């Protein structure tokens, strides 16, 4: 399984992305209100490709490699505690998701980090490709944090692979411009961050932007007081960041340089 990590991740990525893009046509959220639509895709997908290339060029083994390195040396909290694999895997996935929650909150609180993260929030519309729209430097920083946590925890490599696949898939899912049946959405958001929940986080209203930080599990927002049921404007919520809505600002070159411009917070 671990030998085929790149193929597994690529296969899940393409499968989930294509499925969500189809669903966005079958059950759209706010149909007819997508002014830019696919014209944003080259920038969003370009950032994803550059981020992946940057990680592979600087830390080729990435998080799974860090787990294998630590595992071979018996390093980490879980091995020190003698945790069996059946326990270490779910605990690792849970704690890594908690790490991403707090990393996300810090990115909203620290001006320099917000400049990088703002590239993600400056998408004037939401769809599955928005879940891939992160500045390459933010991707690299995030990978460094994850690798350090994986080694400190002694997370099994299979747990790291499962987490990485889940994180990528749920990021695309909760940014997707789909409308779930009301009852399904109400139950699903108890165990998973749904598109309806995450749209609050992409509101132009800063108090709403600074809420609902979860990517995969919604429990951390409830536990740490950052959960909001819905944006105050409801279906009329304005997505994005003021001052970053022009079509030209969605070009890949402009997205890469965006952290150098504008106010930090």
Would you state the pLDDT for residue 5?
73
Share of the chain above pLDDT 90, in %: 88
Residue 35: the pLDDT is 58
Q: Which residues of the chain have pLDDT under 70?
A: 1-3, 32-36
- Token duo for residue 174: 């909760």
- Going from N- to C-terminal start, the domains of the chain cover 2-29+39-179+244-260
Query: Is residue 208 a contact partner of residue 240, using CB atoms and an 8 Å limit?
Result: no
134 token code pair: 């992160």
Interacting residues of 69 by C-beta distance below 8 A, sequence separation 6+: 61, 151
Which residues in 15-42 are b (16+ Cβ under 10 Å) and which e? ebbeebbebbeeebbeeeebeeeeebbe
Q: What is the DSSP letter of 237?
A: P
Q: What is the pLDDT of residues 28-50, one digit of tens each?
A: 998 765 656 889 999 999 999 99
Q: How confident is the model at residue 213, as a pLDDT? A: 98
Beta carbons within 8 Å of 121's beta carbon, 6+ residues apart:
202, 209, 240, 241
Close Cβ partners of 86 (under 8 Å, ≥ 6 residues apart): none
- Check residue 7 and give its pLDDT: 82
Q: Which pTM value belongs to this model?
A: 0.93
Measured at the CA of 35, the angle between CA 33 and CA 41, to 5 degrees, comes to 115
Tell me what pLDDT residue 1 has.
60
């Amino acid at each position: 399984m671990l030998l085929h990590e790149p193929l597994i991740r690529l296969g899940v990525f393409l499968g989930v992305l294509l499925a969500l893009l189809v669903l966005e046509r079958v059950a759209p959220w706010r149909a007819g209100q997508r002014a830019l639509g696919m014209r944003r895709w080259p920038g969003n997908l370009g950032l994803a490709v550059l981020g992946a290339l940057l990680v592979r060029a600087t830390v080729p083994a990435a998080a799974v490699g860090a787990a294998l390195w630590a595992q071979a040396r018996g390093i980490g909290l879980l091995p020190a505690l003698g945790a069996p694999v059946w326990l270490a895997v779910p605990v690792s996935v849970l704690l890594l998701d908690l790490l991403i929650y707090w990393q996300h909150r810090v990115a909203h609180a620290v001006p320099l980090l917000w400049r990088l993260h703002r590239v993600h929030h400056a998408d004037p519309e939401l769809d599955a490709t928005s879940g891939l729209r992160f500045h390459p430097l933010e991707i690299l920083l995030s990978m460094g944090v994850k690798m350090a946590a994986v080694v400190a925890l002694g997370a099994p490599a299979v747990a790291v692979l499962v987490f990485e696949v889940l994180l990528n898939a749920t990021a695309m899912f909760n940014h997707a411009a789909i409308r779930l049946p009301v009852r399904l959405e109400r139950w699903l958001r108890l165990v998973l961050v749904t598109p309806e929940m995450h749209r609050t986080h992409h509101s132009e209203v800063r108090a709403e932007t600074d809420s609902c930080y979860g990517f995969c599990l919604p429990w951390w927002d409830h536990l740490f007081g950052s959960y909001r049921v819905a944006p105050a404007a409801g279906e009329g919520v304005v997505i994005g960041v003021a001052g970053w809505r022009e079509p030209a600002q969605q070009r890949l070159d402009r997205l890469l340089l965006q952290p150098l411009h504008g106010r930090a917070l």
